Each structure stands twice: as C-alpha cells, then as structure tokens.
Structure 1
Amino acid sequence: MGPTNSDHTTKDHSGSKSSSNSSSTKSSKSNATSSKSSVPTIVISQSDYIAKQSGLDSSLDRLLKQRWKKALENGAMKYDIIQQPLPSRLIASCRYNFIASLNEGRGPGQRRTPQEMMALRIPFDPSRFNFTKINPNELLFRLKSNDSLVHTVIVNKSPIGYCSSLLVPSLEQCLPQVLTEDSLRLAIQFLCLSDQQSLRLGFNSAGAMASVNHQHWHIYYFEYKLTVEDLPVKNHLLQNWPIPAIVFELPELNDIAINSVVTKAMKIINFCLDSGQISHNLFLTRTGTGTIRLFICTKEIFSTLDEEDCLKLLLSIHSHHEDVLHLL
C-alpha cells in the first residue's frame, strides 16, 4: 500500500445522483476537487491490513501525519494544538480513568453554528454547509476501495486531537449523516491500515452531536490507554462501565471478518434508525492485542427495551432473519 498519483484515481464518482444534488455539487466541485493532481490516493488492500501493531507508522499513518501537519502550517485549522496542547486531567482514576480535555477553540461562539437535525434521516441539503465547499488546503488525501469508490480525508478545522480529521465516504455523492454498511466497512478498513494503537475513529448520528449533515467519521490519535479496550464483554454488552454499550470484536483482520461484523452491527443501527429513531454514537479502537473493538453507544435502546428483549435483539444478530425484530 502506498500513495498513488491521484490523477488516475480521482475521477467524478458522483454516479447517478439525484438532480437536486447534482446541480449544487457541480457548482462547488472547484473547492473539493480542484487540487486532484496534488492530492495523493491510497488504494485499500487486505494485504496491507496490520494485525499485530509494532508502533511504527504505516504508509497511512505517515501520510496522515505529514499531510495534516502541512495543512496546519498552511493555516487550514483555526488553532494549533501542537504548539498549544490541550490541558487534560484524569478523572475517576481509581476506577474509570476518564480523560477530560479543555478545548477552548470548540467553545460557544468559536465554531460555525451546528446544523439542527430533528430526525435521524434528513435529506442532504446542498444549500447548507457541506464538505464539497471546503477550501483546497483542507483536503488531505483520498482512499480508493475495491468497489472503485473514492473516499476523502479532510482536516477538522476545529481539531479535537492530534491529526484530528474527517473521513468522508464518497464525498461527491453528498450522502447524509446516516450510517451505511459501506461507511462502516470503510472506517474499519481505515483502522486496519494503521500501525498505531492510538488511532481512533468515531461516528455521531443526528441527535448525538453530529453537526454537519454530510456523512463523515472523526479520526484522531489519542495516546492515552482507554479502559474500555480491555473491559469484559458479555452477550455483546460492555461490562463494568457506566455508559451502556454494545460491542463487536474483530480479532481477525480480513475482508470476510470485516463484512461479518458490519452485517451484524448494521442490524443494531437499522433497529435504531427504523424502530425508534434512536440516536447513536460509534467508536472504533484497538485493544492491546490488536483486536478491533466497535462500540455502539445509546442509552435509549436500553430504556425502550426491557432486559429480556434487549438480549433477544442482540442474539438475533447471529440469525439469518432479515428482520432484526423477528425474535422480539
């Protein structure tokens, strides 16, 4: 795996978009895609997945760090968290080891007003801010998957950590902030390409801190060890933790295993989307042994179902029923 000449891999992949989106993206493509020749592309390949991390930077790590630092130097971000690191404090160190960081650059009045999203499924609105409207210096690199789709990594203008960036699946297709199988698969593949345990990815749905209705994942390096990496999991439920979470693990890094986890996890997501309008957050990280853990956090799923029905829902992810509620 390595960066390739983006001239060969960054064609218009908008496909058969609806007419309501196509006119807007044509007018704004000069921002998001004007620098094709200078933007490297990584081709995603299973052969480049890193099962046992050494702590040395992979091709993806090197490219992300180099491009992010260059963007920072070129003024693409609102503040410099390298020259002025975020003050942090350990909370509940005897049990949970929460890390609290003060980020004044993301405080009230410091950022663009978040978009109001009153439902989980909101059509993409080209008149609102979206990632086709970013400045060229905010574009870091692209990734090309086996299905020939091209995905984009851009800076987070208000960074939350080192190399804080956004992974935007099929940017020019203008997808709303609703999780899909392709998006979840891409995020897991991205993590598989890193040789750093500190790389984390997160997804916020509408109603769960998402501020832009354009599909994206947060990416950043977080050097602290997380307690949830090693906590026990029973029947897919995280144990000994104050925040309810459904957990999926990926001990083997290959496309078959990834697809299996994606299929199971999306049954939970679709339940949230279709059956209760339940907002949700996803978090991807690695354990000390290299196992990838996917956390789905939403307290509503536990408050709207009793314990027995919740267990039935979780058990049904292993069934072959199309309807995840078949056993409820």
Structure 2
Amino acid sequence: MAGGTVLAQTLLKRAIEKGAKISYDTTVTTLITANDHSITGVKARVKNQVTSFKARYGVILATASIDHNQALAFQYSPQQYNDLLFNTCLSAKTDTGDGILLGQSVGAAIQGMGGCIDFDGKTGNGTDNRVPAMPMIFVNGRGKRFVCEDATYAYQYRAIFQQEKQFKTPTYMIFADSSLQADGAWWTADSLSEDVKKGTVIAADSLTDLATAINVPVDNLTASVTAWNQQASAGQDTEFGRQTGIQALAGKWYAYRNRATNLGAIGGLKINVDCQVLDNFDQPITNLYAAGLNAGGWIGQYYPGSGTAIAGIVHQGRKAAETISTLAAARMS
C-alpha cells in the first residue's frame, strides 16, 4: 500500500473504532427535507430496496466532483468534457457528481467549476517541483512556445488545452538527444527508441524535417528553438521564468504530443469555512454539509497541485463533523 490507500485505510480503521457504521453498495437518491427546508435525512437504494435514513444532526456530502459525468462536464467544465472525450480519466467511474446534484435539488449553490486536474501521465512533468523538468520546450500548432514548462502540471495543461482549442491543433514537447543526458530525463536511449518505433515520439534529423512531420511552420519552430537555446546558453529563461532544465538543445530532434491524463474535475457545492452548504443567497442550508472535491470554491478554477485535494478531503470532513457537534451541543443546551 502507498499514498492514498494508506490514508484511506487509516481513516477507515479509526472511524470504525469510534463506532462508525458503513453501508456499502448503497446509493443515496434523495435528501429528505422538513417544512422549514432543513435536511432531516436521506433516501437510499440498498439491495434494490429504498430505505430512509434519519439524520439527527446533519448530512455530509462527499462524493467527489463531476469527473465521469459528460452531461455536467459539457455544461460546467469544457476541459473536463474534452478529457472525457479524448483523454484518460483515472478517477473512479462512480465519480459522477451525485452529491452536487443532490445539493442542487434542495437549492444549493455551486462554485469553482471550470477546472480539472490534468497532468502528463507518461513523463510526469511538473507534478513534483523537486524533480527538474528535462531540457525541452512546449510549442503550439503555430510552432511557438507558450508556457513555462516546469510550472505546476495543472497550470501547464490549462494552457495546453487553451492553445489546442484556439488553433485546433495538437501541442508538442520538443527535445533533442542532448536532453537525454540531463537531470530529470524521462527517456533513456532505449526507451526513446521504443517510443519512436511505436509512434509515441516523432524523430527527425533536422528541425525542418521535424516541423514538417508535426505540421507546424518551419520558421516558427526554428525561431522558438533558437530563442530557447540563446536564453539557455545565458542561463536564464527571460520569456517565461522557467527554473529547471535550462540547457540548450542539440542533436537529433524529437516531438512528443502532449496528452492529458485526468485525475478529475474541480468545483462543486458552495460552502463556508464551517463546511455548511450555502444556497444562492449565501445562506447555510440547515444540516447540510460538503467536503473535499464535492465542495467548490476553496481551490479556485484551476488545480494548484501538490496534493491539495487531500487537504480538502481530510480537513473539511473533520471540520464539518466539528461544526455538527458544536451545533448539536448548542441545541441540547
């Protein structure tokens, strides 16, 4: 076990030790409301039987975002929709925004939609700032550099998505034989040879041939590489402020088409600092809470990276429970 598995197992074990009861294969279908619009429980389908669960103090929605819901992605998040059509989404197939729909059914507001968690699943470029980006540049369909290549992965892929939609062409990572000797190189000579054979990477003896192979203007690609090499030789990226992999490119040339691997969408039910779900007038919906990527607005419209989602999952679940406990104690007193 590693990473999220250890975290989930630890939290699950502790919850059960504290008396939590887990109902698996249970699909919540409806939030039950009282006459004053407060949430009093849920209806759920358990083994094809509809069962009502009473919530004495509150319901916490924590069902992720709209990761695999094409209809909601089309409405709220063009980049997520694009990934669902053309790229790979690694999040659970059951992440379809159910909690968001449940919240909306009782008047909840949504916030922070429009972004997603994209990264390069092959190279991992930008996923960890402790690992340098190898010497390379990104170019758009016009053969021009357009973003800082060692910025956080979600920022890169937002820029990549925008460039590809603007020009209706792919974007590429351009590198050379010299790149393979640098820190952070993602290919060895052998692995690169295999990817060239598969067509994953395009190889060419000259920039002119490479530009022709990827269908970008030769003059633009040449100018982009020349500008990069001049800046790299001086030791500073004056265009985009890149910090790692600042080395000139030389030798045989290669192009790798940028293709997003998706870890899910961001955006969801609007919450306050107590994790209470808010309506469209910023008023708490009594007894309704949200946590993690089911909740929106606390990240923003693009994912900043570095495991930010984990902070929301753990902290907000705990914060919602603390709020429920505090309000319950106040009512009882």
- TM-score normalised by L of structure 2: 0.20
Q: Which structure would you say has the larger RCO, counting Cα contacts within 8 Å and 6 or more residues apart?
A: 2
Q: Which has the higher helix share?
A: 2
